[in-house]
Structure 1
Amino acid sequence: MKKNLNLILSGIIVIVAGCVYGGHPSYLMPLLLDYQVEALELKNMLRALMGIYLGIGVFWLFGAYRSTFWYAATLSNVLFMGGISFGRIVSTFFDGVSIPFTPALVLELLFFAWGWYNLKKYPEYLSD
């Protein structure tokens, strides 16, 4: 169960984040981020992002409960968390510090490190 907690927690968080981004962007984005979403293309992009988040979050939950998928789910978690935190770090350097997203960056870095640690700690799940 310990090796699955990373996948379970990050899966739930990413599913919730996806629902926030795409569930009702015209209402939620102004409420949470003081950002107006009026253009059809932006709504479409946010809902597509929601679909990505839902899909990957479900895959991580699936990997937590099916040991044959654990390695692939954990590897994708590490790549996702590493990639998204890298993007936020680049944005911090070029755009400045985002107060609302700094806690997200910290969590993403923690999940990245935790997933990397799990990959090293449980080599018996390594896929060939």
Structure 2
Amino acid sequence: MLKTKDDIRTKIHLLISVFVVIPVALVYGFYPEVLFQVPVTEINQLNSLKALMGVYLGFSYLWLSGVFSPRFLKAALMSNVVFMLGLGSGRLISLILDGFPSPLFTVGTAGELILGFYGLSVLYNEKK
């Protein structure tokens, strides 16, 4: 798992991602009103949020697999970069077009971009 300094440098952002993404996934899937401050009762919205929960949990599983198994590390690193930079860039587009979201989502945007760029640096340095 995290036995050496290199392991920590290479995998710490995967663990951070898991510890953030799993709770967010569960809130999206079961308690969306906590984040959206309006009751979500329409069946299609509930279905979409549970599907999103499944995507988040699936990626979390892949990231944990990369932490514990060298066989999955590259896939975990690449998927984490795409996931985090995809979310972060989408939120930046929204920030420009729609304005500033709540402080929680603003902090989330910064965190996603930091984790995504950190993952890119890990991938770049791993090739050397």
Q: Give TM class, smaller chain.
A: 0.7 to 0.9
Q: CA deviation at 1:51?
A: 0.3
Unaligned runs of 5+ residues in structure 2 are 1-6
The answer to whether the 8 Å contact 2:27/2:34 transfers is no
d(CA) in 2 for partners of 1:51 and 1:82?
19
Match of residue 45 from structure 2 = 42
d(CA) in 2 for partners of 1:91 and 1:104?
13
Match of residue 77 from structure 1 = 80
What SS class does the counterpart of residue 97 from structure 1 fall into? coil
More moved, 12-21 vs 48-57: 12-21
What SS class does the counterpart of residue 41 from structure 2 fall into? coil
User: Which of 91, 96, 116 does residue 93 from structure 1 map onto?
Assistant: 96
> 1:55-112: CA deviations, max 9, x gaps?
0011001111111211111011001111111110111111110023000000001101
| Pairing of 1:1-128 with structure 2 (within 5 A) | 1-2=7-8, 3-22=10-29, 24=30, 28-99=31-102, 100-123=104-127
Q: CA deviation at 1:29?
A: 2.6
d(CA) in 1 for partners of 2:108 and 2:127?
29
Over the residues paired in the alignment, what is the CA RMSD in angstroms? 1.3
Q: CA deviation at 1:120?
A: 1.4
Normalising by structure 2, we get a TM-score of 0.88
Unaligned runs of 5+ residues in structure 1 are none
Higher relative contact order (CA 8 A, sep 6+): 1
Number of matched pairs: 120
Specify the code of the residue in structure 2 equivalent to 1:76.
S
Normalising by structure 1, we get a TM-score of 0.88
Q: Give percent identity, aligned residues only.
A: 34
The answer to whether the 8 Å contact 1:21/1:47 transfers is yes
**Large movers: runs of 4+ above 4 Å:** none
